[in-house]
Structure 1
Amino acid sequence: MLSSHDPKNSDAYLRPSFPLLDYLRRYCWNIVWKLFCSWTPNPLHKWRIFILRLFGAKIGKSNFIYPNCKIWAPWLLTTEDVVTIGPYAEVYNPGGVRIGHHAIISQYAYLCGATHDYNSADFTYIKKEIVLEPWVWICAKAVVLPGVNCAEGSVLGAASVTSKNLEAWTLYAGNPAVSVKKRTNFL
Structure 2
Amino acid sequence: MSEPLDASEHGTLRGGPSFSLANRLERLCFTIVWRGLAWLAPPPFGWGWRRQLLRLFRARIASGAKIYPTAKIWLPRHLEMAEWSTLGQGVECYNMAPICIGAGAIVSQRAFLCAGDHDHRDASHQLVTKPVTIGPKAWVAAEAFIGPGVAIGDGAVVGARACVTRDIPAGTIWTGNPAQQVGHRQEQE
**Cα distance, 1:118 vs. partner?**
1.2
* Counterpart check, 1:177 vs 2:179: yes
Q: Percent identity?
A: 37
CA shift in 2, pair 1:12/1:92, >3 Å: closer
110, 133, 152: which one pairs with 2:154?
Answer: 152
Quote the Cα distance in structure 2 between the aligned partners of 1:50 and 1:38.
13
Deviation per residue, 1:70-101 (Å, 9 max, x gap): 01111111111001100001110011101110
TM-score (norm 2): 0.90
RMSD of aligned Cα (Å): 1.3
Most deviating of 145-154 and 36-45: 36-45
TM-score (norm 1): 0.91
Name the counterpart of 2:22.
21
Name the counterpart of 1:115.
117
Name the counterpart of 1:167.
169
SS of alignment partner, residue 14 of structure 1: coil
* Counterpart check, 1:89 vs 2:91: yes
Quote the Cα distance in structure 1 between the aligned partners of 2:57 and 2:161.
30
Deviation per residue, 1:90-137 (Å, 9 max, x gap): 110011101110000000100011000112111100011000110110
Residue identity opposite 1:33 in structure 2: W
Name the counterpart of 1:72.
74
Quote the Cα distance in structure 2 between the aligned partners of 1:38 and 1:68.
8
Residue identity opposite 2:21 in structure 1: L
User: Between Structure 1 and Structure 2, whose CA radius of gyration is higher?
Assistant: 1
SS of alignment partner, residue 42 of structure 1: coil
**Cα distance, 1:40 vs. partner?**
4.0
Kept in 2: contact 1:172–1:178 (CA 8 A): yes
List gaps (5 residues or longer) in structure 1.
Answer: 1-10
Name the counterpart of 2:8.
none
Quote the Cα distance in structure 2 between the aligned partners of 1:23 and 1:169.
38
Aligned length: 177
